[in-house]
Amino acid sequence: MDLIFATGNKNKLLEINKIIPKNIKIISLKDLKFKEDIPENENTIEGNAIYKAKYISKKFGLNVFSDDTGLEVDALDGEPGVRSARYAGEDCDSTKNINKLLKNLKNKSNRNARFKTVIALIIKNKVYTFEGLVEGVILKNPIGKNGFGYDSIFSPLGTNKSFAELSINEKNIISHRSLAIKKLLNFIS
């Protein structure tokens, strides 16, 4: 089975490729020479995931799945959530996003947070969604060199480490993304 993974994020691709069984061939947007930035203007993580999958499905007419992820911080009423990618502004990067988050959490004692991924799958023009959640806490300072995005400040419950201190395989045992993709794999098998 061929499946397009509608992402331009090479880290997401690396993580997913380590989980997907060999009988499923993942086609990346790079393989398709697709370089556009797909808009993420919906109000929910689920909405963005569906939008991205539909956008690529319309363009290439193949089976597609997409991933949209957000970091929900309890003391910030669920922010940055659906705005995680552009938390520090339109032209921001992960360092700016992390700095803004740590600043906003400075005087808060509740550091509980969760990563939420919604994967939207389009097969034969039907849309299916799969959600993965991982609970954890926001660290006081970034730590670790692996991963991407907010990984260096998020410590999943029970690990005493940040996601950025884990290998891809270790992250894949517990992560939001792996939980969502395992639900997708279960569905298509």
In Å, how far from its chain's centre is CA 99? 19
For residues 107 to 146, the per-residue mask of contacts with ligand IMP, x marking binding by CB under 6 A and - elsewhere, is: ----------------------------------------
Q: Considering the rule CB under 6 A, would residue 84 count as an interface residue with ligand IMP?
A: yes
Of residues 3 and 166, the one with the C-beta less far from ligand IMP: 166
Contacts with ligand IMP by CB under 6 A: the residue count is: 16
Amino acid at 98: I
Query: Which conformational region is residue 140 in: left (phi greater than 0), alpha (psi within -120 to 50 degrees), or beta?
Result: alpha
Query: β-pairing, 80-81 with 64-73?
Result: antiparallel
Amino acid at 47: G
Among candidate residues 2, 68, 74, 91, the one labeled active-site is 68
Which residues, 6 or more positions from 118, have their beta carbon under 8 angstroms from its beta carbon? 45, 46, 48, 49, 67, 68, 69, 129, 130, 131, 180
CB of 83 to ligand IMP, least distance (A): 9
Q: Considering the rule CB under 6 A, would residue 63 count as an interface residue with ligand IMP?
A: no
Beta strand spans in the chain (E): 2-5, 25-28, 64-73, 80-81, 112-123, 126-138, 154-156
Q: Considering the rule CB under 6 A, would residue 9 count as an interface residue with ligand IMP?
A: yes
Of residues 9 and 104, the one with the C-beta less far from ligand IMP: 9
Contact 57, 122 (CB under 8 A): yes
31 catalytically annotated: no
Q: Which two tokens stand for residue 144?
A: 């670790």
Which residues, 6 or more positions from 82, have their beta carbon under 8 angstroms from its beta carbon? 42, 43, 44, 45, 47, 48, 70
Find the residue with minimal CB distance to ligand IMP: 149
Q: Considering the rule CB under 6 A, would residue 177 count as an interface residue with ligand IMP?
A: yes
Q: Considering the rule CB under 6 A, would residue 165 count as an interface residue with ligand IMP?
A: no
Q: Considering the rule CB under 6 A, would residue 172 count as an interface residue with ligand IMP?
A: no
Which range in 22-30, 61-69, 121-129, 178-186 contacts ligand IMP by CB under 6 A? 61-69
Among 20, 27, 34, 40, interactor with ligand IMP by CB under 6 A: 40
Task: By CB under 6 A, name the binding residues for ligand IMP.
Answer: 9, 40, 67-69, 84-85, 94, 97, 147-151, 163, 177
